[in-house]
Amino acid sequence: MLWGGRFEEKLNNDALKFSSSFFFDKNLFEEDILVDYSHAKMLNSIGLLSDDEMNSILDGLHRIKKEWNENFWRPDDDKFEDIHSAIESRLFEMIGSVAGKLHTGRSRNDQIATVMKLWVKKSSAEILNEIEKLQSALLIIAEKNINTIIPGYTHLQRAQPISLAFHLLAYVEMLSRDHIRFQNVIEESNSCPLGSGALAGSTLPLDRWLVSESLNFSNPTGNALDTVSDRDFMLDFLHSCSVGMMHLSRFSEELILWTSSEWNFVKLSDKFTTGSSLMPQKKNSDIAELIRGKTGKVFGNQFSLLATMKGLPLSYNRDLQEDKIPVFQSFEVYSRSLSLMAEMIASMKINKTRFYEELKGDFIFATELAEWLVERGIPFRESHHIAGEIVKKLENENKNFLSLDMEYLKSVNSIFDESVFECFKIEGCLERKKTLGSPNPSFVADEINLWKVNLQKYNYKKIFTE
């Protein structure tokens, strides 16, 4: 125990098990050791540890890390409150009473906050890398499908013709916003809590700037009362995971639709599909379905921590022990989902001609008809009405735009001429788009090249130092 001097009895065993966080905060072993290293060196720099004492502590910590990495030392989950007490107990066993000097000038409150910020920065950097991999996978497929025509949808109804590349670039854009969110999480987590103590700092001359710099933070935190109870950076991490999972879930839904017999547009690799225990013909998009399904867990984790925080007075309260499991779970689900999605995308096969014949003369060109009329001076509301009336007539006759003749069109409006039939041709429908951000192949190609350049520019400093 890191406390107990004023207590006459030991903590009840069931109470210890109930209050222990060791079984999940052992994920913070590396970060905790790193904080111990830096704190010991700082105590030596201000004269509170001799060189011999510091070296003894550092050597002990190094040996503990080696034992952990080699799976030689694994503390009993039921014996320790947390990873911090387990490490300190092992250090006492190795080097004796000098281990008791390591906790000088710090509380578990500021230690935990520091360790969690290091973990969040490290994990955010890993997620950034996974996001870039998925963006790269999408760009590779997009570059091969600049002219693969598919229907674009609103309300799950066919709206206008687009390309698969254009569709995939929409997800590249979404992922870029996810990328920015995690960059912001790293920035928000970049001030060092160590030295704030339990809530009000210390009477000891702790060098907070030295510790901050050695742990690769930009600066120490300000108000100690806020510092030890601040979990905003974790909430923002969870929010970023939630939004990112929502984007993956949307894409999963589309993959599930595209792989159905009705769509017959995409085939996923056997490596990312499963069969049925009863129906031999089945090939199910289970990984995409699981990504969609696990999104709810990530959403719940964000709300879980919000609910924990909402009633807490300043400063630290033990409720904050419950902050870690939601964060660890969301990271695990989101990072794995990103990785699996990238592999699914990279290995999927596209039926490039799936919609080509089907969209010839389709009502999907109705907007182009209305805009053709606008270019000839007809007000848009009138043009919209004319196009709608033509669609209604053809739909009632179970025909499409290719059945139109000039005689009928002239009866609708004398402004029609032979050039209107270009509106209904699937050939060149993408090239006819004129606006930046449209599926015009030249714009899409430029956008792909721009994203490829941007992905090559990403170069993050190493967050976690040995």
Residues 84 and 86: their CA atoms lie apart, in Å, by 5
CA distances from 118 to 38, 110, 339 (A): 13, 12, 22
CA distances from 232 to 178, 198, 365 (A): 18, 18, 49
Amino acid at 191: S
Residue 212, both tokens: 């901050």
Reported as type and span, the H/E element at residue 390 is helix 380-396
- CB atoms under 10 Å from CB of 336, counted, come to 14
Residues 135 and 128: their CA atoms lie apart, in Å, by 11
Nearest to 53 by CA among 99, 121, 119, 115: 99
**Quick one: how far is CA 195 from the chain centroid?**
31
Reported as type and span, the H/E element at residue 298 is helix 286-309
10 secondary structure, DSSP code: P
Residues 338 and 132: their CA atoms lie apart, in Å, by 10
Residues 101 and 128: their CA atoms lie apart, in Å, by 38
Distance, first Cα to last Cα, the chain: 28
Amino acid at 347: S
Q: Which residues contact 110 (CB under 8 A, 6 or more apart)?
A: 193, 194, 195, 196, 197, 198, 224, 227, 228
- Residues designated catalytic: 155, 276
